[in-house]
Amino acid sequence: MKELRTERLLLRELVESDAPVIAKYMDDPEIASFVANVPYPYSLDDAKNFIRKVQEKAEKHEAYEWGIELEGEIIGAVNIHEISVKHRRAMIGYLLSKEHHRKGIMSEAVRAVIEHAFSELNIERLGAEVYVGNDPSFLLLEKLGFQKEGLLRRHTHHRGMVHDVYVYSLLRVP
């Protein structure tokens, strides 16, 4: 998996030694409330299993998960998943520890992954799904040029609640 660099960030493969910091930020109830298919509370074992699974998916070219490293510390992650080579499309997801919100870090990281997906992975369409109510996430997508395609009503059951989900996409311009 290729490392990506930006002005401030290193986007790199997650390794087992990253598990404690991942467990710490994923155990935040606010972050967990917007991330589907993630247990809460989130343990060190959950983080180790997550890292093992993303490494396996990367080896099979099914998905890529980049840890966002700032000043030597993992502070979040960006991923490309549901990759379809045949249809040249994928989904993108991301999360960032709360103390690093509103500093332009996620814009910088997601922009780097978008550029990589379009130029190196030959992706033509990147999609994203965002829970209604997660305003910072859909504002980020819109800032990066994603267009809202619609609303999936009662789409996701998560932590005892049913969520509507906005669907976004960004197309590579030939």
Quote the pLDDT of residue 143. Answer: 97
Quote the pLDDT of residue 36. Answer: 81
Quote the pLDDT of residue 101. Answer: 92
What domains sit in the chain, N to C, each tagged with a CATH number?
Answer: 4-123 (3.40.630.30)
Q: For residue range 26-46, what is the model confidence (pLDDT) as tens digits?
A: 998 888 888 888 888 999 999
Quote the pLDDT of residue 172. Answer: 96
Predicted model pTM: 0.94
Quote the pLDDT of residue 158. Answer: 85
Q: Is residue 111 within 8 Å of 143, Cβ to Cβ?
A: no
Quote the pLDDT of residue 1. Answer: 84
Q: For residue range 91-114, what is the model confidence (pLDDT) as tens digits?
A: 999 999 999 999 999 999 999 999
CB neighbourhood size of 77 (10 A): 23
Quote the pLDDT of residue 76. Answer: 96
Low-confidence residues of the chain, pLDDT below 70?
Answer: none
- CA–chain centroid gap for 143, Å, is 16
Quote the pLDDT of residue 129. Answer: 97
Q: Look at residue 169 and give its three-state secondary structure.
A: strand
